[in-house]
Amino acid sequence: MSNTYYLSQSNEVELFQAAASMNLPVLIKGPTGCGKTRFIESMGEKLDRKVYTVVCHDDLSAADLIGRHLINEHGTFWQDGPLTKAVREGGICYLDEIIEARKDTTVVLHSLADYRRVLPIDRTGELIEAHPDFMLVVSYNPGYQNVLKGMKPSTKQRFISLSFDYPKPEIEKEIIIKESGVNAEVAQKLVNIAGEIRQLTDSDIEEAVSTRLLVYSAKLIVNGFDPYQACMHSIVESLSDEDEVLEVLRKLIGLHFSS
């Protein structure tokens, strides 16, 4: 299997490796599509550790992480959840968008995110000591954080933190070329488009254009799609449903790729 492509922006690789060697949990903050998940996958390969990814949401329960009793033709049996598997066997348990999970769910992480490194399972009476290669990683998008959804300080202060942002233009251009095979001229235009959109302050654009969307556009273009239409479908329509905002974005795209 080929290695997951990731182009470092700062000292995040070295910091993650240091945290892994010291059994320290890591918190990653950054906007959607800036490379958080790709970074974790690449670090899993670099450290030779399996990555158990859980996308958090409002209905995520502690049982979804830890496990539950199930029934089959032979009777009742216990099935580990992804967190428990990582704790038992070693690996990176990555909880994406942790602030979307219920507060009572994230409490189960406390004993794993400090010096104890244990996971109590009330339903089986077990107290599992974490495998030496177990690592807890969580992420969230600060732009989505509000009074009702936010990490409790008691949880946040158990982690080493990394802040991610969209790559610098020269790095983003290299990523687009590498991921899609598009030529340098088109990649530069896509980077310029992203930079201009990210400078817009219109509140109807909830999230700036991600590197992921730029790669999608580039892939369509490489496969023969009209550049303007590729940007419309990969970037513009993904950012807003408001007619006025869509018109602004259409004109912006048209400045770089004629319609």
How confident is the model over 78-98, as a mean pLDDT? Answer: 96
Amino acid type, 251 = K
77 is a domain residue: yes
Last residue of a domain, one of 146, 163, 180: 163
Whether 195 shows a pLDDT value over 80: the answer reads: yes
State the CATH number of the domain containing residue 78: 3.40.50.300
Q: Where are the alpha helices (DSSP H) in 160-233?
A: 169-180, 184-198, 211-222, 227-231
What confidence score (pLDDT) does residue 1 get? 44
What is the domain extent for residue 180?
169-256
196 is a domain residue: yes
Whether 149 shows a pLDDT value over 80: the answer reads: no
Q: Which residue has the higher pLDDT, 190 or 103?
A: 190
User: 209 φ, ψ to 5°?
Assistant: -65, 130
CB atoms within 10 A of CB 236: 23
Last residue of a domain, one of 163, 181, 204: 163
17 is a domain residue: yes
Q: Rounded to whole angstroms, how far apart are CA atoms 65 and 77? A: 17
Which range in 37-46, 69-78, 237-246 is most confidently predicted, on average pLDDT?
Answer: 37-46
How many residues comprise the chain? 259
Whether 127 shows a pLDDT value over 50: the answer reads: yes
How confident is the model over 195-205, as a mean pLDDT? Answer: 77
Domain identity same for 146 and 177: no
- Structural domains of the chain, count: 2
pLDDT tens by residue, 184-193: 999 999 999 9
Whether 221 shows a pLDDT value over 50: the answer reads: yes
220 is a domain residue: yes
19 is a domain residue: yes
Q: Rounded to whole angstroms, how far apart are CA atoms 189 and 177? A: 12
How does the average pLDDT of the chain come out, rounded? 91
How confident is the model over 172-182, as a mean pLDDT? Answer: 96
Domain identity same for 133 and 186: no
pLDDT tens by residue, 12-56: 999 999 999 999 999 999 988 889 999 999 999 999 999 999 999
Domain identity same for 195 and 226: yes
Last residue of a domain, one of 129, 147, 163: 163
What confidence score (pLDDT) does residue 203 get? 53
Whether 145 shows a pLDDT value over 90: the answer reads: no
How confident is the model over 83-98, as a mean pLDDT? Answer: 96
Domain identity same for 87 and 206: no
pLDDT band with cut points at 50, 70 and 90 for residue 144: low
1 is a domain residue: no
Shortest CA distance to 55 belongs to which of 84, 95, 24?
Answer: 95
